Structure 1
Amino acid sequence: MSSEHLVIAVDGPSGSGKSSVSRAAAHALGVGYLDTGAMYRAVTWWCLEEGVDLEDRDAVAQAARDIPLEMGTDPSTPSVRVSGREIEEDIRTTRVSEVVSKVATNTSVRPVLQQLQRDLIAEIAGRTGGVVAEGRDITTVVAPDADVRVLLTASVEARLRRRSKELHGADHDDAVEATRDQIVRRDADDSTVSEFTEAAEGVTLVDTSDLDFEQSVQALLDVVRRVAPDKVPA
């Protein structure tokens, strides 16, 4: 990882706000953005499209190596493309969400995407002067030497209400329950291969349970400016 440019790594459980908060922070800092979770979703979508059996771990790992993936890195307009096709909306569908853990917990896939993530982080930081990279394993495995490492978390209920509002446009009890399985099960599945519930040594914990979106973004920016003041763009 380049020591010349600002690298910010943000980890956290599903629904913690790490994607939206990381995008906003990257925009505020004028640096690039990388959504590594979208990469697992893209591989999942690709396997479904190509008829790859998600239970065939070796075949899925090969798909992760072969996928013609392009990650958009502008925080204002993040995009995911495969063979030139924009799939940002496709990878957020229930069809993908219900099975993405099969790819994300595949221990043959993770090293492939983790190396690609390291390469992208270095490339984005060099091109834009910095990067905010978010997703599982970022603070501990992918970029343990990042300038700023943050575990963004929130209570289960806060995360459920945020995600239900995002998916269903409401956060009433029925909407929350419709979202519970996706959040709770995804966390349980992913926790078998990744630690994202407790901050590792050197990682700053930011709990957004009682913060609104703007306050959450400010909390992340405050950590960045405190931990790496000399690298924050003017």
Structure 2
Amino acid sequence: MTGALRGVVALDGPSGTGKTTVARKLAARLGAGYLDTGAMYRIVTLAVLRAGDDPADSDAVGHRAHEADFTIGTTPDHPELRLAGEDVAADIRGPEVTQAVSAVSAVPQVRELLVSRQRRIIADVLAETGGIVVEGRDIGTVVAPESPLKVYLTASADVRAARRSGQDSAAGRQSSVEAARESVQRRDHLDSTRATSPLRAAEDAVPVDTSELTIDQVIVALSELACRRGLLEGCAAEAAEVTR
């Protein structure tokens, strides 16, 4: 059941649900491309901050997004993230970017620009490799609403806060579970209430609660879902049998 992926797996969900780790590992396991759309908004946010623009100034942010020279890789083992040629994979996860990214990503000009670019990247990867796992907050609803498999990851507030705190600590950033909880709740509110492309599950998304699951268990569950949808080479017959 680990044949190559054919098609798009749309993976949405809020912070701390294991989205990035799951998406990368799933893409690697299924021989597919990988796209972290959230990283694109973080790169633009970093460009805004480095230019000294006010993240609340939508006109300035929109202009900066159009001017920003950045690239994002689609190889799950090592997805490069570069701004003006500089590796910014670590910089975009810093507290300043985390604090400002919701405001930047809520700007309609930014979303229009990046969604268009995300769709082009998806089309290019599909043409090259045949399959891609795309993670974000509006993949199943806006970026790739025709995806044959849409998954919405969730987890309890306590688990999400603990995971985010652990990630920050592992990256050398000062953190606590309490601070992480406040950050996660703040981001949830901003992302789910913004006017353009709010965070929400697509109507046909499959909810997967990762609170009590290991990463490997989530990967197995999603691989099985892809198989049942007939998206994996070599398991179409099994998928048909399961869905009868």
TM (normalized to structure 2)? 0.87
- C-alpha distance in 2, partners of 1:95/1:28? 33
Cα 1:152–1:66 shift into 2, 3 Å: same
- C-alpha distance in 1, partners of 2:199/2:233? 28
Match of 1:205 among 195, 204, 207: 207
**How many Å apart are 1:86 and its aligned residue?**
0.8
Q: Secondary structure at the match of 2:176?
A: helix
**How many Å apart are 1:213 and its aligned residue?**
1.3
Q: Which amino acid aligns with 1:160?
A: A
Structure 1 stretch 25-34 or stretch 214-223: which is displaced more? 214-223
Number of the residue aligned with 2:177? 176
**How many Å apart are 1:162 and its aligned residue?**
1.1
Alignment of 1:26-175 (within 5 A): 26-169=27-170, 175=176
**How many Å apart are 1:53 and its aligned residue?**
2.0
RMSD: 1.8
Number of residue pairs aligned between Structure 1 and Structure 2: 225
Structure 1: runs of 5+ lacking an equivalent: none
Number of the residue aligned with 1:222? 224
**C-alpha distance after superposition, 1:85-109 (max 9, x if no partner):** 1101010011211111111122231
- C-alpha distance in 1, partners of 2:227/2:193? 33
- C-alpha distance in 2, partners of 1:192/1:34? 24
- C-alpha distance in 1, partners of 2:180/2:38? 18
Which protein is bigger by CA-based radius of gyration? 2
**C-alpha distance after superposition, 1:99-141 (max 9, x if no partner):** 1111112223111111111111111221222110100110101
* Aligned 8 A contact 1:105 1:192 in 2: no
TM (normalized to structure 1)? 0.91
- C-alpha distance in 1, partners of 2:133/2:199? 17
Question: Displaced runs of 4+ in structure 1, greater than 2 A?
Answer: 193-197
Number of the residue aligned with 1:10? 11
**C-alpha distance after superposition, 1:63-86 (max 9, x if no partner):** 212211111111011121112111
Cα 1:91–1:29 shift into 2, 3 Å: same
Structure 2: runs of 5+ lacking an equivalent: 235-244
